Structure 1
């Protein structure tokens, strides 16, 4: 049983897909409002933040090894990051009430193959993954924060969980930032623009790497130095770095090993394809990664920094839920400044 507002019907609008593929597989149509289970709240969604796992799943995670690719049921609803208003709570929930403005990263990574279901007017969320929305920002900005901000925070400040890391045998350990030099590659993107701000907040000297059009913004966010990678490869001009946050990662992340001092660290957000372990060992460099995990308490804690403006959410563009296809097309263009958001009336 659940305590809930009276809703006019039990259907909602959602973005669903019936096969893997490009943005054209996304359909705006009616779907059933999710049933509420024990330990959950039902959120009437006002905004959805887009993240790379959205288009990876839409496409069937083709970049993963075949044994890692999803086995999912269609129709599929994408998405993890939401901001909205509590519409119902399960009977065993006391921390939230109907009408609370909240945000969440929903069921990640456990629901990463389609159980999160955020591209919709309603989403059910485990209460442990929900945080009160920062009052100082609107729903669009709040929806842009959860996955990207939690990723940067869990990599750089506090892991926030004790789950085994599926990507490496050892537990990821953030490193001290105060007084250190930190380079952020992909600094204008979702994770990158938060990483710049967190590094600066924690007392680091920050070097931001992005294309030239992002320089003014990144300096506003706290970057001490800026490198336009379209003109100068950062690995050609930078040395003796304490920490590199490679928000792009992948097979090219090894190029940053030469920029790091002995005892330094390289944190690739997307580690698949990295093959420089032997070189890293020779250079005395730690390479470490982790898997971001939903955490309502941590999101509430970091949300205070969003509330008072200490950390900003930069929104690249806003689309209606019905235009999710256009939002994915925008993502495919690249050079995103901050986050892409879907707004729901």
Structure 2
């Protein structure tokens, strides 16, 4: 048995011969619809191209004296050591190599006069890994008012970001971290990325934090906020931070403070007690004085935080010396009723004491 199945061409041909007027109207309407689509699509496409078509820009990275950074270009198998000024482009990744490393990434807009082309900068420090994901301005600079766009990715470490929109067009900076992204207006910012969270402090300007779960919060001048893998701070906090843990000696203070005692042989060791006196928690030091004999009791805390991004540090204490009988600084000029020491590492990696 042979069955003839009509082809599509035959069906269309019979439909055309049977309904020529209807087919003509279909062709006319389809052509008109295509005309209307093109009437709006072509100008819209031209307008979009003029407004958004990008012109790639470059940045300049300048390492501090004796600082070494590693540069990983896009699709490169090997890293390049940076010890002097170098042009940086999209896709480049910069990583600090030592504890004393410092460097400045200058954001350049070539539309500005030669002396005013730096419209922003990113200061990075030891332990920092920064990727440049996008650097561009509109290609049709005269007909587009879109901003000079900069997108960075801070994987770890600390950065100070300064942004200042130029005369030609505004500057839009977006910085992404493992916990979300931060949109920065013109201003000054301190940003640090730890394994557990991202901290953003606004010195001047305004920042918008966008968590990976699409939560958002806006931070103004003199404020700070942070976000972790799980959540975003619901309310902004003051930009002032207390780097000391348990500075009010709340129980159990011994978990945050380490007591130590030093004395000459045959001298009774001093002691420190964490207790409540006059309605507040205090560290109460007690030692016996022996003439010409050293006797010291102390408490200490390891802060272990980098402070490169901070503008200033203050040490504030409430002290009440109940009794002492040291004349001046003692017999050896080393004895004091109270002495405060800060051990730190400077920007060159040298251990110092204050």
Which TM class, normalised by the smaller chain length?
under 0.3
Structure with greater Cα Rg: 2
Structure with greater proportional strand content: 2
Structure with greater proportional helix content: 1
Higher relative contact order (CA 8 A, sep 6+): 1
Q: What TM-score, normalized to structure 1? A: 0.27
Q: What TM-score, normalized to structure 2? A: 0.27
